Each structure stands twice: as C-alpha cells, then as structure tokens.
C-alpha cells in the first residue's frame, strides 16, 4: 500500500510538471476533452473485464477531441514529448491504472478483515461449546472453593444440617461433599472424585478436590489463550506421569516392623480432625488393629471389613479401646429369665427363625371350635420344642439369631423354652454382620434346623452382658481359633463427637492400610507439592511449543496446597510459598510448612509424614477428573 501511494505521488508530480511547462496551451476545452477521454478509458477497461458485453467507445469528434492516445499520436506532427496534451493523457492513464490497483487492494483488505466462518465452524456452534465448558469449569471450581478452608491441621470445620434435622460437624472432605445437594453434572464429578480418593487411599479427600479446582483454574486460562482442549489434556497427562515419578524418587521406604513410623503417619492424618487432641490414643490403636488382621500369606492385602467399629454413647474418646474378640451394641434377650453370662460357650449363628411356621399369604386356616384351636397351639409348641431339643443335643448354649424382615426371629414361647434349656439368646443380628461374626468365631452360619450340627459351632471362653454407661453391650472373649479380625469400641460424650471419632478412626485405618499396600512414606506440609512445582517448571523449559506452556501451568497449580495450608493457618501465604521455593531451590526437598510453629522447617524431623499412595492417588485422580471435564463440550439431557 505504501508503494502504491508513492506511485500516485510520482504521477501527480508528472502531471504538474507537464502542465507547468506549457500552462497556456491547455485550455478549458482541452480539460473537458481530457475528462471525457479518461471516462472512455475506464469504460474500455471495464468492458475488457466483461467479455460478454461489447466495449463502448466515444468515437465522435464532436464528443471527444482525443478519442484514443494512438489516434492523437498519429495525427500529431510533433513528437509526443512536445505535446502537453499527450503527456497529460499518459499521466492520466497511469493514474487510472494506479487507482484501479489501489481500489482492488482496498477491497481485498476489506474482505480479509471481515470475519469468515471456517469450514469446521460452518456446522458447529463454537460459542455453545465454550459456554458449556466454562459452566462445567466454574461448577467444579465452586465445589473446590467450598471445601478449601477445611484443608490442613488449622482448617475450619463445617456444620451440615440435613433435611431430616440431623446435624453433622466435620472437616472430612468426603463427608462434606457426600452430604451436599449437588445438581450440576460437573460438580457431581467432583463429589465422585472425593469418594474415589476415599476408596483408594482413605485420606486426602479434601486435597484431591482442592487440587482439581486449581487445575481447572489454570485450564480456564489456557483455553482463554486459544490453546485447544486436547493439547491441554495431553500435557496434563504427561505432567501427572512425571509427578508420580518425582514423588516416588522423594519417598522414604518403611517396614511394617517400624511401628513408630506407622504411628507417625496415622497421627498426621488425625491432626486435621475434630478429635485431633486424641491422636496419641487413636493412632497406635489404628496401627495395632491393622497389623492384627494382616494375613501372612497375603501381607500386602488388608480388608478393613475385618475391623469392626462399634459406637457406644457415653464416656469420652479417651475410653476408646480394642476388644480381642467380639462386641455387640445389644442386650441379651432374657425376657423369660434366660442366662446373661455363659462360660465355655458353644456358639451357633443361625439364619432361620425359632417360631411356628406360617402359612402362605393366599392360604388360611379355618377353626370351627376351641378344640381345634387347642390342637393348633399344641402343634406349634411341639414344633418349637422339637427345634430346641435338636439345638440342645449338639451342646449349643449360645444362639446368635439373624434379624428377619418377614416375621419375628424368635417368639416369647421360644424364649421361654430356650431359657428352660439354659441357652443364651442374642437376636436381631444384622445381615451384613453375619460374615464378620462367623469369620471371627471360626464357625459356619446355619440356614436350616436340619443342618444344625456340632461341627458348625464356634467356641469361646466367655460370653457376657456388660454394663457400659447407661446401656449394655455384649462381649465374646477367649475365642478358640479366632479369625484374623478385631473389634474397636468407640466412646463419645455426644452423638456428634461419636460420629466424628468414627470417621477419624476410619481415615487413620486407611492410612495404615496404604502403608501396608505401598510401603513408602513422604513428607507432608506442602513439601512434595513445592518440589513437584519446581522440577516440573524446570522440565517445562526444555519442552517446545504449547506443551511446555501447559506443563508450566500444571506446576503453578500444585502450589495451591502449600498456599492454602498457610492461608488456613493464619500465615502470610505469599511470603511462606516464596520462602518454600527458595528452600527447595537450595536442595532442601523436605522443607515444609510447620503450621504449629508458623514457620518453615524440615517436615520429616517434625514427624509430619503421609503415605506415598495418598499423594500419588490425589494427583492422578485429580488430573483424570480435570481431563474429563475439559473434554466435555456439550450436555445432552435425556429422559
């Protein structure tokens, strides 16, 4: 465009020079003829561009004195350079060509600047995709912000009030999100993310959601920069794999014989709970419970269903203890005066009812006189008495009866005969407890009276009903050939404390289980996240293109954990995170935030440790969830 304007100025100077030399020779009539000639030249060019229409020429001498440049040159007897009219015609001809070129350039520039729909955009509403993706990201970030203040030992607690009037006080991320009434699909994914972390590691349920929220925030910035979601997703996947490798290199191996390390790890999990002041009691209890159920043939597998937690209102959390045997929050059925204490017990777990048989719903018995009624009652008594004789014949003196949903598991008449036979009865044992009870007693459940045999019984030194606070519990101790199970009796002054103590103990059990499955410890206090951020940032510098930019954003998102820990502890998060970066840049990879002292210390020396599986699981699950949300571009509602 600059060259075109320069050419026009040269043409203008040529015309001025031509006219300036012989100004008197160019009259008004000559100017009119030149204008007509320029119009003729424009029409000629247009007609040349349109081959379907003949060119219109002004050939009449009365209309145009100078029809064409060639005619004027042939009629002129002097040289073209000496004729001012011919010079002006040449200049005007060049000017018109330049003008056409200028107009075509302007039209092309205007067309290029006009927004044009690409081939892919012609069939897809990109605005809708962006709105859907933005709505999902915002919903996920909102869920993360809701639990962010609960992270760390100094995190806040949440009071949850349900529609039924139930009140829950907790800072456990999985419990908070599980009780939230979430409707948005992406927000539900964050709730499921917390459940997945709870299932995989048992701890870090708040961390995984906060981390996912930070990743969603940086992804939103990357999308606004014009980076395609697939490129971001692939970069997140590579960053996650690199992070797991870095964490594994930082981890410290631990043996199951090192009980102190296991207790330290469980204590770290309990320090952020409502019952953190009881961590010195609950942490060793959790370690002993897990170690007692490990099968030597499969030492890496721990089934927490083999540890039964029984809650009993009354006392304080300090009264919590393990029971080497079985404990039930039930009373012995002694309405007919049956025994409440049995030594050298022979225990049967039955899944049938000790009561008269019932007819089908569509059938009925018609009684015409009282003698028939007496006969029916006599038959029922004989039926029950026959069952009890078979039970007594095997030497059984304790019955655990499964709860029935169709009819009473045992009637008053049955209890009367059982009391006479000196058989202790514990009824309404829950269906989901039967497997644990039979495994503990090393016996088999009996589904029918015809299968009642002595070899299916369990044996224990003592079965007794004990008073505990305002209520009573049932204890079975001294079990012969006891299975690899254990029971924990949890106490609490009120129901809120009791429920939170159970949740905290479950998390501690899960932490020890993680160490059994993957026997590595890693520092806490935000140390692994800062080290990951530093190493990933250095790795991003050697990558090319958008991939390196995305990896750098992933590294920055990891700093949300130490930032939030410092913020919830009332410290200056910017100063703390900056100091942490400097410490790790100097090679102090175990430097972390000591929230109790309010400063940066060697977090391993402070015994703030956690299982490697908790950290790797949190990063892996958070990355997978964010990648899923990132690649959703529409929400389809179906019936």
**Torsions phi, psi of 519, nearest 5?**
-85, 65
Whole-angstrom Cα distance, residue 213 to residue 138? Answer: 9
Using DSSP's 3-state secondary structure scheme, residue 1 falls into coil
Residues 6+ apart with CB under 8 A from 106: none
- Which among 444, 472, 350, 443 is positioned nearest to 400, based on CA atoms? 350
**Torsions phi, psi of 312, nearest 5?**
-140, 120
3-state per-residue secondary structure call for 386-449: HHHHHHHHCCCCEEEEECCCCCCCECHHHHHHHHHCCCEEEEEECHHHHHHHHHHHCCCCECCH
Pinpoint the alpha helices (H) of 76-226.
84-113, 126-148, 173-179, 185-200, 205-224
Q: Residue 16: enclosing H or E segment and its boundaries?
A: helix 2-21
How deeply is 43 buried, as exposed, middle or buried, from its count of CB atoms within 10 A (0-12, 13-18, 19+)?
middle
Whole-angstrom Cα distance, residue 347 to residue 143? Answer: 50
Which letter does DSSP use for residue 456 in this model?
G
Strand 520-523 with 252-253, pairing: antiparallel
The answer to whether 89 touches 69, Cβ cutoff 8 Å, is yes
Give the chain's largest Cα–Cα span.
156
- Which among 557, 563, 560 is positioned nearest to 540, based on CA atoms? 557
Residues 6+ apart with CB under 8 A from 202: 506, 507, 509, 510, 511, 513, 514, 614
Whole-angstrom Cα distance, residue 451 to residue 428? Answer: 21
Strand 424-429 with 398-402, pairing: parallel
How deeply is 607 buried, as exposed, middle or buried, from its count of CB atoms within 10 A (0-12, 13-18, 19+)?
middle
Using DSSP's 3-state secondary structure scheme, residue 384 falls into helix
Residues 6+ apart with CB under 8 A from 266: 279, 282, 283, 284, 286, 287, 508, 511, 512
How deeply is 38 buried, as exposed, middle or buried, from its count of CB atoms within 10 A (0-12, 13-18, 19+)?
middle
Residues 6+ apart with CB under 8 A from 351: 402, 434, 445, 446, 447
Percent of the chain as helix, strand, coil, to the nearest 5: 55, 15, 30
Whole-angstrom Cα distance, residue 251 to residue 531? Answer: 12
Terminal-residue alpha carbon distance, the chain: 60
**Torsions phi, psi of 294, nearest 5?**
-75, 130
Q: Report, as residue numbers or ranges, the catalytic residues.
A: 172, 205-206, 507
Alpha-carbon Rg of the chain, whole angstroms? 44
């Amino acid at each position: 465009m600059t060259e075109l304007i320069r050419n026009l100025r040269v043409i203008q100077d040529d015309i001025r020079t031509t006219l300036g030399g012989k100004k008197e020779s160019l009259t008004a009539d000559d100017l009119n003829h030149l204008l007509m000639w320029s119009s003729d030249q424009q029409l000629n060019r247009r007609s040349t561009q349109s081959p379907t229409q003949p060119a219109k020429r002004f050939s009449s001498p009365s209309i145009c004195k100078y029809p064409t440049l060639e005619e004027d040159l042939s009629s002129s007897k002097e040289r073209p350079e000496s004729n001012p009219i011919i010079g002006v015609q040449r200049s005007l001809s060049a000017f018109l060509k330049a003008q056409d070129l200028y107009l075509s350039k302007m039209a092309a520039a205007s067309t290029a600047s006009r927004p044009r729909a690409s081939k892919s955009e012609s069939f897809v509403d990109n605005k809708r995709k962006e709105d859907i993706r933005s709505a999902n990201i915002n919903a996920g970030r909102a869920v993360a912000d809701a639990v962010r203040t609960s992270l760390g030992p100094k995190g806040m607690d949440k009071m949850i009030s349900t529609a039924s009037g139930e009140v829950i006080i907790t800072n456990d991320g999985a419990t908070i999100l599980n009780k939230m009434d979430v409707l948005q699909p992406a927000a539900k994914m964050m709730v499921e993310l917390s459940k997945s972390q709870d299932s995989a590691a048992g701890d870090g349920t708040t961390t995984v959601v906060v981390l996912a929220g930070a990743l969603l925030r940086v992804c939103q910035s990357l999308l606004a920069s014009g980076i395609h979601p697939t490129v971001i997703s692939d970069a997140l996947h590579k960053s996650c794999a690199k992070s797991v490798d870095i964490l594994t290199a930082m981890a410290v191996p631990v043996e199951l014989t090192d009980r102190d390390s296991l207790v330290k790890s469980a204590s770290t999990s309990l320090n952020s709970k409502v019952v953190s002041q009881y961590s010195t009691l609950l942490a060793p209890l959790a370690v002993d419970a897990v170690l007692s159920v490990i099968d030597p043939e499969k030492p890496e597998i721990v089934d927490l269903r083999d540890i039964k937690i029984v809650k009993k209102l009354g006392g304080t959390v300090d009264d919590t203890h393990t029971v080497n045997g079985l404990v039930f929050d039930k009373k012995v059925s002694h309405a007919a005066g049956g025994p409440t204490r049995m030594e050298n017990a022979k225990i049967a777990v039955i899944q049938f009812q000790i009561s008269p048989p019932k007819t089908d719903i569509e059938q009925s018995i018609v009684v015409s006189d009282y003698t028939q009624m007496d006969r029916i009652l006599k038959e029922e008594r004989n039926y029950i008495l026959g069952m009890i004789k078979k039970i007594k014949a095997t030497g059984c003196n304790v019955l655990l009866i499964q709860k029935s949903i169709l009819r009473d598991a045992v009637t008053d008449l049955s209890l009367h005969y059982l009391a006479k036979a000196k058989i202790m009865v514990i009824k309404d044992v829950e269906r989901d407890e039967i497997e644990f009870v039979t495994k503990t007693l090393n016996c088999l459940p009996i589904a029918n009276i015809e299968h009642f045999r002595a070899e299916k019984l369990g044996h224990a030194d003592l079965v007794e009903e004990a008073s505990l606070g305002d209520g009573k519990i049932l204890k079975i101790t001294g079990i012969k050939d006891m299975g690899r199970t254990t029971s924990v009796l949890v106490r609490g002054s009120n129901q809120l404390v009791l429920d939170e103590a159970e949740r905290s103990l479950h998390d501690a059990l899960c932490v020890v289980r993680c160490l059994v499955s993957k026997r590595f410890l890693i520092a806490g206090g935000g140390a692994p996240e800062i080290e990951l951020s530093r190493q990933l940032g250095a790795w991003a510098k050697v990558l090319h293109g958008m991939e390196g930019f995305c990896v750098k954003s992933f590294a920055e998102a990891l700093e949300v954990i130490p930032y939030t820990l410092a913020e919830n502890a009332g410290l200056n998060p910017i100063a703390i995170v900056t100091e942490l970066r400097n410490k790790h840049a100097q090679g102090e990879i175990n430097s972390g935030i000591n929230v109790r002292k309010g400063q940066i210390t060697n977090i391993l020396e402070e015994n703030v440790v956690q299982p490697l599986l908790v950290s790797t699981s949190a990063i892996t699950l958070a990355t997978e969830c964010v990648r899923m949300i990132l690649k959703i571009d529409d929400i389809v509602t179906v019936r």
